[in-house]
Amino acid sequence: MDSSRQQPWIPAALLLGALYVIVGRLFPAPVTYLQEWRLAAWLVCGVAFAAHIAYEHFSLRHSPLLVAWHSAVAVAIGAFLLAVAGMIHSLWATSEVRTVWFLALVLWPAFTAIPAFLVALVIASLLKHLRLRTDRVND
């Protein structure tokens, strides 16, 4: 059996994780207007995060807990890959990897996924509540 049909959230989480890395690596590249580029990166990631929550809620019809979990996994993937990219950059620039980078491989995903989980849980719960209210009104 095709596992992507059974777990459609996995490709979405991987895609969003990759998007977070691309935005995180490419948006700070311009030297001019650095704050504006960082703000744009936050905006793009915020829209992607909201789109992921909407996809999980409306298309896949997952519970708020699953929406939050899957959204947090995507954020953790992005943070982990950014830590890996930072480690590689450090290795390239200094020819050594400091031990702090190994700590970053664990802490960056945790420090980003936990708040993402909580925010997604609140948003998904509100969406579910609004849907239930709308369904009752329409009946």
Rounded average pLDDT over 33-59: 94
The pLDDT score that the predictor gives to residue 65 is 98
Rounded average pLDDT over 85-99: 87
Look-up: residue for tokens 């239930």? 132
Look-up: residue for tokens 């849980």? 121
Angle at 98 between CA 94 and CA 99, to 5 degrees: 170
Distance in angstroms (rounded) separating the CA atoms of residues 122 and 73: 16
The pLDDT score that the predictor gives to residue 5 is 56
The pLDDT confidence band at residue 1, using thresholds 50, 70 and 90, is very low
The pLDDT confidence band at residue 31, using thresholds 50, 70 and 90, is confident
CB 67 within 8 Å of CB 73: no
**Where is pLDDT greater, at 35 or 42?**
42
The pLDDT score that the predictor gives to residue 4 is 45
State both tokens at 69.
């979990």
Please report how many Cα atoms fall inside a 13 Å half-sphere around the Cα of residue 5, on the Cβ side.
Answer: 2
Rounded average pLDDT over 24-31: 81
Rounded average pLDDT over 12-31: 90
Rounded average pLDDT over 43-66: 97
The pLDDT confidence band at residue 34, using thresholds 50, 70 and 90, is confident
The chain-wide mean pLDDT, for the chain, equals 90
Distance in angstroms (rounded) separating the CA atoms of residues 14 and 131: 28
